[in-house]
Amino acid sequence: MDVPLSWLRQYVPVDILPIDLAHHITMAGTEVVGIRHTGEDWDRTKIVVGHVQKVDPHPNADRLSLPTVDLGEGETVTVVCGAPNIAVGQKIAFAREGALLFSPRSDKKEPLKATTIRGTLSTGMICSEIELGLSENHEGVLVLEDDAPTGVPLVDYLGDAVFELELTPNRPDCSSILGVAHEVAAVTGEFVTEPDLSYEETGESIKERITVDIVDSSLCGRYAASLVTGIDVKPSPKWLQKILVKAGQRPINNVVDVTNFVMLEYGQPLHAFDLSKIKDETIVVRPARSGEHLTTLDGTSRTLHPPMLTIADSENAIALAGVMGGIETEVRKETTDVLLEAANFDPINTRRTAASLRLKTEASYRFERGIRPDLVTRALRRATQLILEVAGGKVAKGIIDQYPCRQDPIILGITSSRIKQVIGTAFDRNEVLTVLNSLGFDQVVDESSEDSLAVRVPYWRSDIAIEEDLIEEVARIVGYDVIPTVPMSTPIPHRTVQPMIEFKEKVRDLLVGVGLQETISYPLEDALTLDSVQHKQNKMKRIKIANPLNAGVSYLRDTLRGSVLKTLKSNRRISQRESIRIFEIGRIYLSKGDEKGVVLPEEKEMLVGVLSGPQSEQSWHARTREMNFFDAKGVLETVFGALGIVAEYEELEDPSLHPGKAAEVFVGGQSVGIVGEIHPLVLNHFGLDDGSVAMFDVDLKELQTSISKSTKTYAGIIRFPESERDMALIVESLVPSSKIQKIIMRHKLVKSTSPVDVYTGEGVPKGKKSVAYRIVFQSTRSTLTAELLNRAEGDILRQLQSEVGAELRI
Amino acid sequence: MTDVTGVAAVEEIRAEVLRALEMAATEEQLEDLRVAYLGRRGKLTQILRSLGSITPEVRRETGAAANELKEVFEEKLAARRKVLADKKLAALSGQEKIDVTLPGRPYLRGGLHPTTRIIREILDTFVSMGFAIAEGPEVEWDRYNFESLNIPKDHPARDIWDTLWVDYTDDSGYRPMLLRTHTSPMQARIMETVNPPVRVVVPGKCYRYEATDATHEWHFYQIEGLAVDEGITFGNLKGTLYEFAQRMFGEERKIRFRCDYFPFVEPGVDMSIDCFQCDGDGCRICSHTGWIEIMGAGMVHPNVLSSAGYDSSVYTGFAFGMGPERIAMLKYGIDDIRNFYSNDLRFLREVGD
Ligand SMILES: [Zn+2]
């Protein structure tokens, strides 16, 4: 909403600087996002209104003239002028020597110098719009209205500031100059003078001629009309055009301009119909018939459906109520009689109509925010008065005012105890009343009591319904900044902990600790990406977005793998050889819909990481190698170790993972995720080169549950020394290491064991592998002797021989 | 073994051992000497051990001489060891020189996403003020996202939150399921499950049907706060948020509260801090206003309290909501919100440090 200061001043005095006013009303809730100034840089003494007394020809140049200008208080000056439009009697903008003006020649502001032009000295200048910075126009001098007072600073006459307001949806009243004037009055302590609404009715009675019928009063609570006959439709007078342009409207003709002017003035949309086009001079406010056509003012033919509300004549729809008029009944040059409409339409129906036709207008904006029906007749009378003023004609006697849903004025009470309870500070009753009065709330003495102050909500406010609304009115005008700032002193409530929240943070820290970078990506994906990394068990219905921003983000992801692979790909574009280790902790969304009804999806916290590229940057210390399955597994093992989790890994077939290089991860017998290398076809789908990309994909909920089941207890330190032995074995290639380890671990003296060498090739029979294990022995009761150790090794070897056919490698 | 006995034998050993000590050139030779004379079967050890079998007179003399030699030997041995060790150290500096300017062996370093970092920082300030942390669903019902927050269907305020809807229409022709447009639905969810008092902060992802630019993302995080109890006031709202802003942005920052509108609060608040770029004079960052909006807040609307089953005549409370990315942008000097979720590792590493 653009609010010119000059227009605002017609209703409320403003004696403070525009920037200060902007600050005050912003603090009170109506944000001024910008101020456009005109004339703030015009020197008050050097640029003034002049009156052209006579225009003599220049003795030495046909194109130049020598106008003599009255500058008031008996001062006249004669200057050289090159403009063809200069004429005696004009009011013009005169700049004295030294005035700072925009120079089209140098493209910047320069002080005006006295110059001799073709032998005649000129010590001033009659300005065109470009020199004043008003427009690019320098075709002729700027001609002011005849009422411009001679000698006054131009800035006082023509200068202005336009406030750009960003309105909140609850304040349709501020989409009017008067509404803003009331805000201004409240913050400055001034008073609003509303327009006089009187005019002479000299025509026939409107009721004799016009019939109005509201068919559905739930969609139209009030409909009023006036009639002006014998008018002359032409361009508006300059003052009206100027003020509309400043407020951001395009002037059309005097009648339409008046309806726009009054809409901006009161916030009440109006419409003018050409009466001669209304069949039977009858207005029917009715829902559209199904499939009914109407060509709106923008020239678009629209198909309507109930319950869209129309204004119809005895036969057809002639306007879309509250949204836009029809082209058929538009006021044109040849129109002589206009029927003026001001009405109150249902906000929801207007909103739905505008939305379904994609036709948001100034009118629909105001109606859907719920303006008050009290505005209807005021705005109608104001528009009637102005049409009479600018288009002539006769006003019919009376107005039509159908008001089936009469709304009584709203009266609300406000108590000091409630103010104290909500704000924390007590307010003086008089202070409360003063603030409310300044906003236009009147006290209703009959209904007030010692505790409670009863006030009537002003006719333009549609956002005040409960006591808290009044409290806000008081607080915002008094100023939030003056309300004392107090720390909370109520007891801290008992905190219930969602264990997953802390768990996620712990996992994040651990992953960062082993060198992984966290990423976060969009949870919406395209179906193809999701399909390409489909889990083996996931075959549920995906959740689709009805209005995605684009096709690439139309499904909620049911796997995090695609997101992380995409991140890998986008970074591979930047660096082909870099070592990349990333992880994301995010949700996947699994549909739980069944036949009984739809329920919200399950949102599962997942952890996915990928490792790709060299294990380390190439350096002088060592040759590097590509990361693979075991790097990803190592990350998991480190994280699990820190969390006190013991996991088991079993071979896995997963369509998106490399056959033979994938494992399912189990904790306490429960599957918690996978680790593996990505299937080459999947890499291909993501545009990733061949080469290994290792991934882990873990269900954090399962993982977190598995920890809380096994609380770790401190075992104590054993004081007897450990002994290490290495055992090299030859076994069938297919025997998993985990199985051998399990057998070794079964011996009661074994503290731990891990493979220290795995070898196939020369010296090892085909189909077999050589595996060496380091075994750490320890007893809780004594230092182990060589004899005991030898016996233990023998026992273990026998078990390995019988269970997996292992032989000692010699 | 020599057949000389008594003091003479000791003296013979003395001459021998002192010469040998002088000759020894390595640690190993010294150790051999020690074993040869003082070991279990060492020469001196044997003399000391044989003292019991000789006459008391000779025993005393011989014993004194042997013990004295033992001390001398041990002393000289230690001295000789030190000489050799020093020699060895002196030689090291010449032989084992490394190029200390070569780079060290690299260790891996990871990093948190800047959003994670800033959310932790924000939550920490509220946790220290007694707030608990909760999370809620991102796919929500219209009922929680709007209706329970005093935003009925077809309310014009819905224009503030352009919504991504789940493709499902109920029998009445409405889409009841959506991607939450803010974390505020958790206000209702929490109050439905917990009796007052409540003091909680809710971080999480939110979504809007919105074109992206340098300051707008369709996918972003929000942190919601809610405090409800008997006696919670607008003054407490100011107090709590003031504390937060000072901890987050420094004690020298000025804080401004102005009236704003959100349907689920009354009175409604917009909180700004003075621009740290221009100290309030006006610059590009603050859109030449001198102030930077940090969050929306307000006293919980009575309709929101009662729709969650709280008695709004007894309980009052405040709620607030802020965008962590915006706060990170201000704190770390990031000029484009699209950097956050395009996952360029160069950006993440730089900002995550
Ligand atoms: Zn600034």
Residue B130's pLDDT band (cuts 50, 70, 90): very high
What pLDDT, on the 0 to 100 scale, is given for residue B66? 84
Specify if B172 maps to a domain.
no
Nearest-CB residue to A512 (from B110, B129, B340): B110
Q: Does A718 touch chain B (CB under 8 A)?
A: no
Percent of residues, chain A, with pLDDT higher than 70: 98
- State phi, psi for A572 to the nearest 5 degrees: -65, -30
Higher local confidence (pLDDT), B239 or A591: B239
The domain spanning residue B219 has which CATH number? 3.30.930.10
d(CA B289, ligand 1 centre) in Å: 7
Flag whether pLDDT at A536 surpasses 70: no
CA geometry: angle A158, A162, A167, nearest 5 deg:
160
Tell me, yes or no, if B347 comes closer than 8 A to chain A by beta carbon: no
Same domain, B82 and B218: no
Task: Using pLDDT thresholds of 50, 70 and 90, give the confidence band for residue A776.
Answer: very high
When pLDDT is averaged across residues A508-536 and rounded to a whole number, the result is 90
Q: Which of B117, B189, B199, B208 is catalytic?
A: B208
Per-residue model confidence as pLDDT tens digits over A243-272: 998 898 889 999 999 999 999 999 999 999
Give residue-wise pLDDT tens across range B200-235: 999 999 999 988 888 889 999 999 999 999 999 999
Q: Would you place residue B1 in the very low, low, confident or very high pLDDT band (cuts 50, 70, 90)?
A: very low
Strands A602-612 and A647-651: unpaired
Is residue A538 predicted with pLDDT exceeding 60? no
| In-domain check, residue B183 | no
Lowest mean pLDDT segment, chosen from A273-277, A577-581, B255-259: A577-581
Give yes or no: residues B123 and B60 share one domain: no
Domain check: are B128 and B234 in the same one? yes
Would B280 be classed as within a structural domain?
yes
Nearest-10 Cα torsion for A762, A763, A769, A773: -120
pLDDT of A531 higher than 80: yes
Quick check: A492 contacting B, CB < 8 Å?
yes
Pair (B325, B239) in one structural domain: yes
Asked whether the predicted pLDDT for residue A535 surpasses 70, the reply is no
For testing contact with chain B, the best of A37, A367, A472 (most B CBs within 10 A): A472
B127 and B40 in a single domain? The answer is no
pLDDT of residue B23: 84
Please indicate, yes or no, if residue B157 is contained in any of the structural domains.
no
CB contact under 8 A, A29 and B134: no
Last residue of a domain, one of B64, B94, B124: B94
Instruction: State which residues form the domain around B295.
Output: 114-132+191-352
The model's pLDDT over B14-64, given as tens digits with 9 standing for 90+, comes to 888 888 888 888 888 888 888 888 888 888 888 888 877 777 777 888 888
A486 contacts B236? CB cut-off 8 A? yes
The mean pLDDT value for A141-168 works out to: 90
Based on the domain organization, do B80 and B128 belong to the same domain? no
Residue B166 is assigned to a structural domain of this protein: no
Q: Is B14 considered catalytic here?
A: no
Question: Each residue of A50-59: pLDDT tens digit?
Answer: 999 999 998 8
Task: Decide if B300 is inside a domain.
Answer: yes
Distance between A551 CA and the closest CA of chain B, angstroms: 13
Name chain A contacts of B232, Cβ cutoff 8 Å. Answer: 488, 490
Question: Is residue B224 located within the same domain as residue B333?
Answer: yes
Distance B274 CA to ligand 1 centre (A): 8
Could you tell me the pTM of the whole model? 0.84
Q: Is B208 a catalytic residue?
A: yes
Q: Which residue has the tokens 């008073």?
A: A191
Contacts of residue B230 in chain A, CB cutoff 8 Å? 490
Task: Say yes or no: B38 and B125 in one domain.
Answer: no
**In A, which residues are within 8 Å of B227 by CB distance?**
488
Q: Does A606 reach chain B within 8 Å, measured CB to CB?
A: no
The answer on B122 and B260 residing in a single domain is: yes
A524 touches chain B (CB under 8 A): yes
Q: Binning pLDDT at 50, 70 and 90, where does residue A539 land? A: low
Which residues of chain B does A481 touch, with a Cβ-Cβ cutoff of 8 Å? 256-257
C-alpha B239 to ligand 1 mean position (Å): 24
pLDDT score at B160: 84
Three-state secondary structure call for residue B124: helix
CB pairs under 8 A between A and B: 243
Active site residue B161: yes
A545 touches chain B (CB under 8 A): yes
Q: Is residue B291 part of a domain?
A: yes
Return the residue in B200, B229, B259 with the most chain A beta carbons within 10 A, the one to mutate for interface testing: B259
Tens digit of each residue's pLDDT (9 = 90 or more) over A398-450: 999 999 989 888 999 999 999 999 999 999 999 999 999 999 999 998 888 88
Task: Report how far ligand 1's centroid is from the alpha carbon of B278 (Å).
Answer: 4
Q: What is the pLDDT of residue B72?
A: 87
pLDDT at B4: 62
Catalytic residue among B17, B201, B202, B319: B319
DSSP labels for A272-338?
EEEGGGSGGGEEEEEEPPTTEEEEBTTS-EEEE-TTSEEEE-SSSEEEETTTEEBSTT---TT---E
Same domain, B87 and B206: no
pLDDT of amino acid B2: 45
Residue A713 has pLDDT above 70, yes or no: no
| Run of H or E residues at A354 | helix A347-356
Q: What is the pLDDT of residue B77?
A: 87
Q: Are residues B86 and B223 in the same domain?
A: no
Same domain, B208 and B252: yes
How many Cα atoms within 13 Å fall on the side-chain side of residue A28?
Answer: 23
Residue B248, pLDDT > 60, answer: yes
Q: Give alpha helix (H) positions in A555-667.
A: 561-572, 629-643
For residues A765-791, average pLDDT: 91
Residue B186 lies in a domain: no
Helix residue ranges per DSSP H, chain B = 6-23, 27-38, 43-50, 56-95, 114-127, 142-145, 185-193, 234-249, 302-307, 324-332, 339-342, 345-352
Q: Are strands A602-612 and A580-590 parallel, antiparallel or unpaired?
A: antiparallel
Domain tally for chain B?
A: 2
Q: What is the pLDDT of residues A72-106, one digit of tens each?
A: 998 999 999 988 899 999 999 999 999 999 888 88
Residue linked to tokens 């021998």: B16
The one catalytic residue in B9, B161, B188, B297 is B161
Of the candidate ranges A316-320, A356-360, A443-447, the one whose mean pLDDT is the lowest: A443-447
Instruction: Measure CA A660 to chain center.
Output: 49
Question: Strands A47-58 and A61-70, how do they pair?
Answer: antiparallel
B166 versus A107: the higher-pLDDT residue is B166
